[in-house]
Amino acid sequence: MNRVNEFAFKIATANGSGSASANSLIMQAIFRMGVPVTGKNVFPSNIQGLPTWYEIRVSGKGYTARTPQFDLMVALNPATYEKDVKEVQPGGWLLHDSTWPLDERLHRSDITLIGIPLAQMCNDHFSGVRERILMKNIAYAGALSALLGIDADIIRTLLKEKYGRKPALMDSNQKAVDLGFTYAMSNFPCPLPIHLAPLDKTKDAILIDGNTAAALGCVYAGATVGAWYPITPSTSMMEAFKRFCLKYRRDTESGTNRFAILQAEDELSAIGMVIGANWAGARSFTPTSGPGISLMNEFLGLAYYAEIPAVVFDVQRTGPSTGMPTRTQQCDLMMCAYASHGDTKHICLYPSDPREAFEFAVKAFDLAERYQTPVFVLTDLDIGMNDWMVPMLQWDDSYRPDRGKVLTAEQLAEAKAFYRYLDVDGDGIAARSLPGTHPKGAYFARGSGHNKFGGYTEDAEEYTEVVDRIARKVNGARRAVPAPVTQGPGNARLGILTVGGCHAACMEAVDQLAAEGIVVDYMRVRGFPFGEEVTAFLEKHETVFVVEQNRDGQLRSLLTLETGVPVARMESVRYYGGYPMSAHHVIAGIRARLEKVA
């Protein structure tokens, strides 16, 4: 098992023990060695004490999907020994704290045990309970650096960068790293057959999570009002927005801010603030998760019908109800597409990684204002909260926000009359006016029945005329949402169609299937309403495997409803246990269906 730059390992600790900084230190060091790396934080809905895991996949080939197959387990949490030891691949390794006699639950004859007295070493070299616990984590990072061949100089540099201004902290961290490193070097054959060798595959890349990237997108899009109610896994997005705004949008001289962040009393209020701010002319957004969208449904219908822009980020987590708040799913596809009572349909964007989260955040504001309607950006916990290796974010300085049809005071002064919902241009989009612009721009926004002049109505024809135009308008957005990504020969018998974060797993699966001689065409949808090319893809292939992360095949349902292609043409491949999709799920699903057909 000599797998240089192709392996995965997992670290099992307790929540709140400080392992996060050790784990990110390892991730970053591998990244700096030029080797593609992905980290998945598997954490509990808890502040301190419950089990937590960190999974690191190293892939010189550049695969970034989660793998459930671990070559090495760092088992430091007795509460999960039993489960953790089972996850090691035969022939793999298990690192444990040998301060205490070996726990019998860790016995397994087909793996190699690596005992390192982490607690003992830290008790001998550090004082104070807190420091001893924290340094135990840094010590395993040191041991891993020896075992896996992580460049010790890079670790030293990283510690310097992180603790440069706190020499005492830097010294104790470096000491802990050295303790682990030296012990491993002198007691085990280092490096193990699974190890790293420097590459140059990360120099144009960054490690970033989707919430941070999406928040940055909001800053670059010129969003000024963020309203929110804290909810896992979206919380870090508004925290990042605040951090960036304090960096870029604070006038230190006058002490004034060029942004407003409103922490609302609930999600109903958060979306209300967003709609109010957009109505007044600001670019405004809210980050939330499924339970928040459930609460926002009423207001989303208002924004749709009164035609007010709004941008909503749904960092999806498992449902229904509270579900598993710290596990990932793609379970809000249906809800977001048709949120609210009454006939509605909403523009949705589906980023597959943090880079697209950045780009689609900007796109979402342009679409919301162009089409005067709510726009959803659906990421998920995996994209939102985990660090992904993605190409560096790019920005075109010639970009200017597309504010859509907003009449200026001059245009209103010259106009004979202004009617808010009159389709003057024939594209289904009526011009809007902002409060305070001009006396002629006044209109009465309402969620009650209205005619094209903006007046209240209970007249069948007047009502129908407006709602039909809105349907035409939103359907028109199918040409403006990001086009699907495709790959493959184009004439294969089989197709794979997926969405969002399943992309990484599907790409890996496509390669593995090709190695088995199974050729597929691939499509990843990136926006809703679906464009014509999606229908064409479904019609062109004998069988299309629709890969997604929810129980009921929501993407397949949406495709069936929106394209008219018979559902029998689509084979559903689903994984919805709460971990990110892996290639192994995709292949297992496809193989099972192929065998059934054969």
Partner 1 sequence: MTYIAKPRVHHPALQKNEIGLTRRDYEGTVTTLCAGCGHDSITAAIIHAFWELSIPPHTVAKLSGIGCSSKTPAYFLKEAHGFNSVHGRMPSLVTGANAANGAITYIGVSGDGDSLSIGLGQLCHAIRRNVNVLYVLENNGVYGLTKGQFSASADPGSLSKRGEPNTMEAIDGCLMALTLGATFVARSFSGDKAQLVPLLKAGLKHKGFAFIDVISPCVTFNDHEGSTKSYAYTRENTVEVVQADFIAPAKAITTEYDPGAVREVTMHDGSTVRLRKVADDYDPADRDRAYHYIRKKHAEGEVVTGLLYISTDSKDMQAQNSLGATPLVQLPYEQLCPGSAELAKLQQQFR
Contact positions with partner 1 (CB under 8 A) in 1-60: 28, 31-32
Nearer to partner 1, 237 or 546 (CB): 237
Residue in 78, 323, 401, 578 binding partner 1, rule: CB under 8 A:
401
User: In terms of CB distance, is 400 or 596 closer to partner 1?
Assistant: 400
Instruction: By CB under 8 A, name the one of 400, 417, 426, 491 that touches partner 1.
Output: 400
- Report residue 96: phi and psi, to 5°: -135, 170
Instruction: Identify which range of 69-77, 257-265, 557-565, 584-592 contacts partner 1 by CB under 8 A.
Output: 257-265
CB 330 within 8 A of CB 501: yes
- Identify the H or E element spanning 156: helix 152-163
Considering beta carbons, is residue 137 or 437 the nearer one to partner 1? 437
Q: Is 539 helix (H, G, I), strand (E, B) or coil?
A: helix
404 alpha carbon, distance to own chain's centre: 28
Q: Scanning residues 107 to 126, which ones bind partner 1 (CB under 8 A)? A: none
**From the CB of 266, what's the least distance to partner 1, in Å?**
7
What string of DSSP letters covers 397-416?
A: TT------SB--HHHHHH-S
- Compute the distance between CA of residue 66 and CA of residue 507 in angstroms, rounded to an integer: 12
Question: Should residue 561 be labelled a site residue for partner 1 when binding is judged by CB under 8 A?
Answer: no
Is-contact 430 423, C-beta < 8 A?
A: yes
Among 345, 335, 299, CA closest to 471:
345
Q: Which residue has the tokens 């290639």?
A: 583
Cβ proximity of 554 and 290 under 8 Å: no
Nearer to partner 1, 264 or 467 (CB): 264
Is 457 a binding residue for partner 1 by CB under 8 A? The answer is: yes
Q: Are 418 and 67 in contact (CB under 8 A)?
A: no
DSSP 8-state code for residue 323? -
| Interaction residues for partner 1, span 282-321 (CB under 8 A) | 282, 284, 298-299, 302, 306
Taking CB under 8 A as the criterion, the residue among 256, 490, 517, 598 binding partner 1 is 256
Site for partner 1 in 376-395 (CB under 8 A): 392-395
Q: How many residues bind partner 1 (CB under 8 A)?
A: 80
Nearest to partner 1 of 260, 483 (CB atom): 260
Backbone angles phi, psi at 15, to 5 degrees: -60, 140
In the bound state with partner 1, the residue whose beta carbon lies nearer, of 53 and 418, is 418
Q: Name which of 19 and 278 has its Cβ closer to partner 1.
A: 278
456 touching partner 1, by CB under 8 A: yes
C-beta of 56 vs 496, nearer to partner 1: 56
415 in contact with partner 1 (CB under 8 A): no
Distance CA 178, CA 542 (A): 59
Q: According to CB under 8 A, which one of 69, 448, 464, 475 is a site residue for partner 1?
A: 448
Of 225-254, which residues contact partner 1 (CB under 8 A)?
225, 227, 248-249, 251, 254
Instruction: Say which amino acid occupies 163.
Output: Y
CB closer to partner 1, 48 vs 398 = 398
Q: Which of 235, 269, 373, 582 binds partner 1 (CB under 8 A)?
A: 269
Cα dihedral 503, 509, 515, 518 in deg (nearest 10): -100
Quick one: CA dihedral 406, 408, 409, 415, positive or negative? negative
Q: Does 397 sit near partner 1 (CB under 8 A)?
A: yes
Q: Which of 62, 117, 276, 577 binds partner 1 (CB under 8 A)?
A: 276
Cα 215 from Cα 360, distance rounded (Å)? 11
Near partner 1 by CB under 8 A: residue from 101, 128, 255, 517? 255
Closest to 528 (Cα-Cα) out of 404, 362, 344:
344
Both tokens assigned to 369: 């204002």
CB 329 within 8 A of CB 318: yes
Q: How far is the CB of 295 from partner 1 (least distance, A)?
A: 11
Query: Candidates 7-15, 266-274, 542-550, 577-585 — which segment interacts with partner 1 by CB under 8 A?
Result: 266-274
Amino acid of residue 493: R
Which residues in the 172-231 window bind partner 1 by CB under 8 A?
202, 205-208, 216, 219-220, 222, 224-225, 227
Q: Is residue 363 involved in binding partner 1 (CB under 8 A)?
A: no
Work out whether 343 is an interface residue with partner 1 (CB under 8 A): no
Contacts of 144 (CB under 8 A, 6+ apart): 9, 26, 74, 95, 150, 180, 184
Contact pick of 169, 170, 268, 324 for partner 1 (by CB under 8 A):
268
Q: Which is nearer to partner 1, 439 or 489 (CB)?
A: 439
Based on the shown chain and the rule CB under 8 A, indicate whether residue 452 belongs to the binding site for partner 1.
Answer: no
* Pair of tokens at residue 61: 């080939």
Q: Collapsing DSSP states into helix, strand and coil, what is residue 252? A: coil
